Amino acid sequence: MLRNRVLLLASAAGVVACLAAVSSVADDAGKSAAADGTPKTPLQKSMVKMEDQTKAIRAVSTSPGRFKKSAQGKDLVTAAEDLVRLSRDARKYTEPAETLKKPQAKWEEYADQCLAASQEMVGASRKKDYAGVRKALKELDNSCTNCHGLFRPKTGGDEFGNP
């Protein structure tokens, strides 16, 4: 019972922290999301799309059963292909490096890691390879975490405060 309460309090604290972290590096540059939370810069829009596709992939690949129900990854191919396109596009953005005075080469390195993981995801999805999809998803998550750690230091997450 106590353990459940501690977990509930920790979850609530996490939600509060995320909500409190809505201000981001983009805020400093005057490029934050609109007051209603709608992304307004091309980079923000691209990151929201990447997050949506990653969530869709994660939802289908959380277990072998779900993966099998999704036509064994067939449903993931489109989402993974979108991630490839979005990863290529992300490489061109310069605002994060300029705003934080970080090396553009590091931004591009993380975008390339994201691209490689996304391409691996496409291949595994086409082969209906659950283990390959999970491996690619882990690599994708790592590239996101590394990038957000350097380019979203205020929030520890994306420009909307999501971890």
In the chain, where are the structural domains located? 2-151
Is it the case that residue 27 has pLDDT exceeding 70? no
Contacts of 40 (CB under 8 A, 6+ apart): 31, 32, 33, 34
Out of 1.10.443, 1.20.120, 3.30.70, 3.40.1350, the CATH code matching 2-151 is 1.20.120
Contacts of 60 (CB under 8 A, 6+ apart): 66, 67, 70, 73, 75, 76
Give pLDDT, residue 140.
Answer: 94
pTM value is 0.70
Q: What is the pLDDT of residues 67-112, one digit of tens each?
A: 888 876 667 899 999 999 999 999 899 988 888 888 999 999 999 9
Is it the case that residue 17 has pLDDT exceeding 50? no
